[in-house]
Amino acid sequence: MVLKSNPRYGLSKGRLEKVIGNLLRAGVLTAAAVTLAGGLLFLIHYRSTYPSYHVFLGEPTDLRSISGILNDALSLRSRGIIQLGLLLLIATPVARVVFSFFAFLYERDRLYSIITFVVLTALSYSLSGGRF
């Protein structure tokens, strides 16, 4: 991402890039920690079971929606915690785009604000399953 430095509004290119880098780093590390915790909990609970690879069982219905994943994660169910970690991993670059959009608005950079808004709209549309 190319950012212009605009001292008139108090944001420098280096500072903004550092904040975005820290946002991405925190998001990925948080997602990894949550997924690892869920994975360890899964191994503790299901260590003595053996998978049956000749029968495919998809995800349970409660893990197919964000509310179901949050309910399972808050109930400390291992699969819900793993799914929450994956949701956090998906949300990290989306948060970067949202942050960039507001930074460009703050900088009063119309071109990059519009481009970032289009990217954010495309991300939102695709993550909603093509429904708005």
Could you report the per-residue pLDDT of 108-126, keeping only the tens digit for each? 889 999 999 999 999 999 9
Q: At which residue do the structure tokens 């915790």 appear?
A: 37
The number of folded domains in the chain is 1
The residue range of the domain holding 95 is 12-48+59-127
For 57-78, how does the pLDDT look when each residue is reduced to its tens digit (9 = 90+)?
A: 777 888 888 899 999 999 999 9
Specify the range with the lowest mean pLDDT, choosing from 51-55, 63-67, 128-132.
128-132
Pair 122, 114: CB distance under 8 Å: no
Does residue 5 or residue 131 have the better pLDDT?
131
Look up tokens 């975005």; give the residue. Answer: 20
Q: Would residue 72 count as lying in a domain?
A: yes
CA neighbor of 38 nearest in space, from 107, 85, 6, 92: 85
18 in a structural domain:
yes
